[in-house]
Structure 1
Amino acid sequence: MLESGDVIFYSRGVSEFCNAVEQVVTENSCFHVAIVSDTGTVIEATPDGVVELTFENSIEENKPGLVEIMRLKRCENITEKAILESAKWCRSKIGLPYNDLFAADLLNSAKQESYYCSQLITEAFRSFEMQWPTHTLNFADSEGKPIEFWVKYFQKRGYSQVPQGEEGSHPAQLRRSPVFSLKMRILPNLMNLNSLKDLKIFELSSHFVGGKYVDFPSDRDFQVIEPRSGKTLTTWHFATKDQVDITVKTAKSAQKEWAEFTWTKRSEVLKKTADLLQMHCNDIAYWECISNGKTIVEAKSDVLSCVDTFNFYSGIAQNLMGQHAPLDSSRYAYTRRLPIGVVAAIGAWNYPIQTCSWKTAPALACGNSVIYKPSPLSPVTALILAEILKSAGLPDGVFNVIQGDSETSQNLIMHDDVTKVSFTGSIPTGKKIMKSCAERSIKPVTLELGGKSSLIIFDDADMDSAVSCAMMANFYSQGQVCSNASKVLVHRSLLEEFSKKLVSLTKELKVGDPLKEDTKVGAHISADHRDKVEGYINGALAEGATKLCGGDRVTVEGLENGFYLSPCILTDITSKMKVYHEEIFGSVLLLIPFDTEEEAINIANDTNMGLAAGLVTRDLARSYRVSEKLNAGNVYVNTFNDVSPLIPFGGIGESGFGRENGTAALEHYTYLKSVFVNTGSCPNPF
């Protein structure tokens, strides 16, 4: 994050001295400046003298509301070597006193060589012959009257007059110098977990890097839209290639410390994270609802599932143990399961905090660092999880969040120091990511992609249970679920009764404000996606399908511009229709009759996506037999879309490979090292 020669500006101070420094320059909140040394520490001139601190300690001591890290623009006479020499020069001044008179001759009231904060910077770069913005010392207010603080300040040092108008420098004037370019802004300690719901979260910077909220300057931005109202909540920025590089280097450095943590210490952090998620469940669910549009009831359930995830991975230390194998009387071998390094995790918008937790918890348990890039459509709750992890004791830089688009993702994936990629999203994007992971430097990838699943209702099914399963398979999160079974295959003998009951219950579902507890159907993620789902419905009708209910836009009072669509049921579906083959990713249930078990299995397997499948039956033998024949990574019997952190989740075929959840996920975030040991002498075979 910091490089030698970077200059750090501190604004919005809280002490009386900071306020007094800010007042002497108009339209300013900058009160202090420091420089990064050749060893990465921070050198600053303070009232206690020239000191050397870590960056974290410097922030803690100065208590700024805003930190800006500036980079000196390189040119013919400002080279990397020259900047490094300036940084070394600053280190040589450690221990010198403070220039309490702000004198241009570098002498304090005791006639000793000394520096004040901005003077240390200008002197460090004096050899560059740069033209700094001119500044004359000012100790008067906007009306020209001497500020009382400064009058008393100089009186204590034996001076009856303040040195008004003399040559000098000020952090605010240096900040305006054209020789600097903004590298990043940091807003320390803005989130309060005890008042999350009232938090003005969009005033935070959109990135979380090195344990701090960071504002990366970028000319590529995006609007954060609230699905329930259609309102623009804020404008955030995508991370650039250079900013991705900063983040990866931060994560790589932090991972070394985290990997040295014992399993017990890692477990404590993950367990504390689970406790904090549970403690703040309602407030986190509120932001999940605001950001994503799903109902508050579902959002709470999602957060509680994250509690289970972190609890589970806090107790998997024994699964990270290696094996020991005696080979003969003087030889043995053992294996070690080691962290893979820096994980780039790219999340989906339909389950924002759950997707983030599924990737982050096992990766951290294994000793890795994580850079999480949420979808621009739901970018908020990953930042809250970052704050919770920090509060739970996770070292700074081990978990980072950057906002980005496909370009940002590509820069992240292609970075040489990223050693593992985990992606949840569409099949076309997954294929591009897989190609990128092999193109430059081979790195392992987990892909959790789309699905086109089926639910089979056999003739012996309990009718109420069958209808419940069909609704669970289609109507969670407005149908925006990768494992959804949009194809509901019903034995012809049950079709009439099943359809009647299903349509009746579907029509009763309340479409409305997702923040209200009695709402059953919330808002689609965006206007574009709602339009896409409508397009599938209209296309099917044009191809000969019949609509039994739903598929209509719904206007919610007070939220008239929200993205609402009623759940839809279609029948008269044929295998030639687009909706039969493609993932709709919306609440569009397709009723398809069948006559034989073999026919139902063939229809269910008539897809190149193998994420999920399900069946409803009272016949135990049939449940086992059919489950074995369904080409899917997840099979549900008398239920659907069930999930547990104990059980692996993932697909086959075009639905991707690798697994989330369970101990199986640990294999994707570690590598095995085999060690052969000979305790005797080594014979020469030649």
Structure 2
Amino acid sequence: MAGGARDIIVAGGFRQGRGEPLSSVDPATGRVFAEVSTASVEDVDEAVTAGEAAMRDPAWRDLLPHRRAALLHRAADLIHAESESLARLQTLDNGKTITETRALVASAAGTFRYTASALETLDDTLTTARGPYLSMSVHEPVGPVAAITPWNSPIASEAQKAAPALAAGNAVLIKPAEWSPMAALSLGALLLRAGFPPGLVSVLPGPGGVVGEALVRHPGVRKVTFTGGTGTGRRIAAVAAGKLMPVSLELGGKSPTIVLPDADLDQAVRGIVFGIFSSQGQACVAGSRLIVHRSVHDEVVERITAAAEALVIGAPARESTHMGPLIAAEHRAEVESYVRLAAEEGGHISTGGTRPSGDALGEGFYYRPTVITGLGPGSRVCREEIFGPVLVTLPYDDEDELPALADATPYGLACGIWSRDYRRAWRLGRRIEAGTVWINTYKQLSAATPFGGVKESGLGREKGREGIRSYMTQKGVYWGLDETPSAWGL
């Protein structure tokens, strides 16, 4: 720490960035709790150049996979050892409840462990020969990776990108969101403690228009992995097309949750409430559109309304809190504008739609869980991502309507289905355009299962064994076995 602001990490070195400092605000109080130094374009160039050099160093380039896996395991152990302090730091940084940030830290540690195990068993391939040669398919690091992460789930998202990028042998340059930079800086410090060569790790906070833009456009960055808004994703894809650079884009969502008339309503209601109101609805996979058979629609809405009103809104560091604040005042204002729009479009607010009362919550960016009925599938509130605790409900009559209703947005990230008939649910899940389908559950995620979206929800997949391969390039190698010289040209 120098100059009153937390240092950034440039190629493993801690120092003040050359950009303008930014303030990290506690969303529960609206007060600044930390000042963070930020990177400049020059810092980005230095980090990329050092990352390229570190990747070429034989000490890293020739390190066997099981040795790299040992470093990943060590990182997981350090995250686990620091889990409570990391969780509390995230709660300060983005307002998520302490129970959820503990889960995010555990997820980060689990991602490093899973990636280490997958790396040790990730084999290259001896391909079928079609002549007098031995042929192989081998994989090599793609090059320095820019990992641009979102504010809603810091350390878990950073681990999801950094672990496989490092496992594949790359340098990783983490650019955290401006609203939540603290977890990434802590993770970067732990990766260095774990023993990764310093040049491989940089953490570069700062504005997306400066730091993110410099990373995406830098000729030395060979892949960008981005989680965030669809508009930014499009801009990254446009630059990547000019560079012929691979990208992984996990973007927005407006995920449907479908309740069939045979569903266990007790189970469904609890899952729906969790799917939309946990994380204050600030999740790309939030189940923000509820599509319910007309025969049970009113009962389901009544139950969800009662459950929403029973949720505890309060300080996110308190163990009993279900919902903390939204990330920032301007984000809450945007959520509020959508609720006003819903009323203008003819929607009925069954519950919520206001800020909670009480002096203890007045300084934070709190908003009540909101349920809206009476809108059609073409309304803006039903089609556009709100990224807040707002649920819109739609009744349906005929099951044949469901694929079109579920797909009636530009997005295709996730979907939930509630039914006692597993055959019926399976058939429906296969017809809907979504990267993930949950049946009789919601927001369950695994490091072993690939994750991503279709349509405007993104490109590519993260997680799973193949998640490591996505940070590598493939090379064919041929060994000639014919002892007879070529007769060509004779």
The TM-score by the shorter chain falls in which range? over 0.9
CA contact (8 A) 2:6 2:37 kept: no
For the 8 Å contact 2:313–2:323, the answer to whether it is kept is yes
| 1:426 aligns to 2:226 (yes or no) | no
Q: TM-score, normalized by length of structure 2?
A: 0.96
Quote the residue 1:624 is aligned against: 426
**Secondary structure of 1:447's partner?**
strand
In 2: Cα distance, 1:520 partner to 1:346 partner: 28
| Within-5 A mapping of 1:365-444 | 365-405=167-207, 406-439=209-242, 441-444=243-246
- For structure 2, the 5+ residue unaligned runs are none
| Match 2:8 to one of 207, 218, 222 | 207
Matched, 1:256 2:56: yes
- Paired residues of 2:66 and 2:120 also in contact (CA < 8 A): no
Q: Which residue of 2 aligns with 1:216?
A: 17
Aligned to 2:342: 540
- CA change 1:445–1:556 in 2 (3 A) is farther
Partner-residue secondary structure (3-state), 1:375: coil
> 1:534-613 residue pairs with structure 2 within 5 A?
534-555=336-357, 557-558=359-360, 560-613=362-415
Displacement after TM superposition at 1:204 (Å): 5.7
- Rate the CA distance shift 1:329–1:403 in 2: closer, same or farther, 3 A: closer
Partner amino acid for 1:250?
Answer: A
Kept in 2: contact 1:259–1:339 (CA 8 A): no
Contact 1:255–1:367 (CA<8 Å) still a contact in 2? yes
Greater fraction helix:
2
Alignment match of 1:271 (pick from 73, 87, 96):
73
CA distance in 2 between partners of 1:382 and 1:328 (Å): 49
SS at match of 1:624: helix
SS in 1 for 2:423: helix
Q: Which amino acid aligns with 1:352?
A: P
Q: TM-score, normalised by structure 1?
A: 0.69
Provide closer, same or farther for how the CA distance between residues 331 and 543 of structure 1 changes in structure 2, counting only shifts above 3 A: same
Whichever residue aligns with residue 443 of structure 2, its letter is N
Q: Is the 8 A contact 1:658 1:665 kept in 2?
A: no
2:107 corresponds, among 297, 302, 305, to 305
Report the Cα offset of residue 552 of structure 1: 1.4
Q: In structure 2, what is the Cα distance between the partners aligned to 1:317 and 1:272?
A: 14
From 312, 317, 322, the equivalent of 1:515 is 317
Query: How many residue pairs were aligned?
Result: 485
- Does structure 1 residue 245 correspond to structure 2 residue 48? no
What secondary structure, in the 3-state scheme, does the structure 2 residue paired with 1:563 have?
A: coil
Cα deviation digits, residues 274-314 of structure 1 (max 9, x gap) = 11211221110000100010100000011111121111001
The alpha-carbon deviation at position 437 of structure 1 amounts to 1.2
Gap change, CA 1:624 and 1:666, over 3 Å in 2: same
Please give the residue correspondences for 1:11-22 in structure 2 after superposition, counting only pairs within 5 Å: none
State the partner residue of 2:33.
233
Structure 2 vs 1, CA of residues 558 and 341 (structure 1 numbering), >3 Å: closer, same or farther? Answer: same
1:476 Cα deviation after fit: 1.8
Per the alignment, residue 665 of structure 1 pairs with: 467
Which amino acid in structure 2 is aligned with residue 253 of structure 1? A
Amino acid at match of 2:217: M
Match of 1:506 in 2: 308
Consecutive unaligned residues of structure 1, counting only runs of 5 or more, are 1-185, 188-201
Structure 1 residues 75-122: Cα deviation after superposition (integer angstroms, max 9, x where no partner): xxxxxxxxxxxxxxxxxxxxxxxxxxxxxxxxxxxxxxxxxxxxxxxx
1:226 shift after superposition = 1.2
Match of 1:7 in 2: none
Q: 1:556 to 1:386 in 2, by over 3 A?
A: farther
Distance in 1 between the 2:421 and 2:164 partners? 37
Alignment partners' CA distance in 2, 1:354 and 1:663: 17
How far apart, CA to CA, are the structure 1 residues paired with 2:381 and 2:387?
11
Task: Give 1:492's aligned residue.
Answer: 294
Q: Which amino acid aligns with 1:430?
A: G
**Equivalent position SS for 1:464:** helix
The one-letter code sitting in structure 1 at the alignment partner of 2:394 is I
How large is the Cα RMSD of the aligned pairs?
1.6
SS of 2:136's partner is: strand
- 1:152-176 deviations in Å (ceiling 9; x for gaps): xxxxxxxxxxxxxxxxxxxxxxxxx
Partner of 2:132 in structure 1? 330
SS in 2 for 1:503: helix
Structure-2 separation of matches of 1:241 and 1:645: 33
Secondary structure at the residue paired with 2:295? coil
**Partner of residue 638 from structure 1, selected from 411, 415, 440:** 440
Deviation at 1:512, TM superposition (A): 0.4
Residue 555 of structure 1 and its aligned partner are, at CA, apart by: 4.6
Quote the Cα distance in structure 2 between the aligned partners of 1:522 and 1:583: 20
**Identity, % of aligned pairs?**
34
SS at match of 1:493: helix
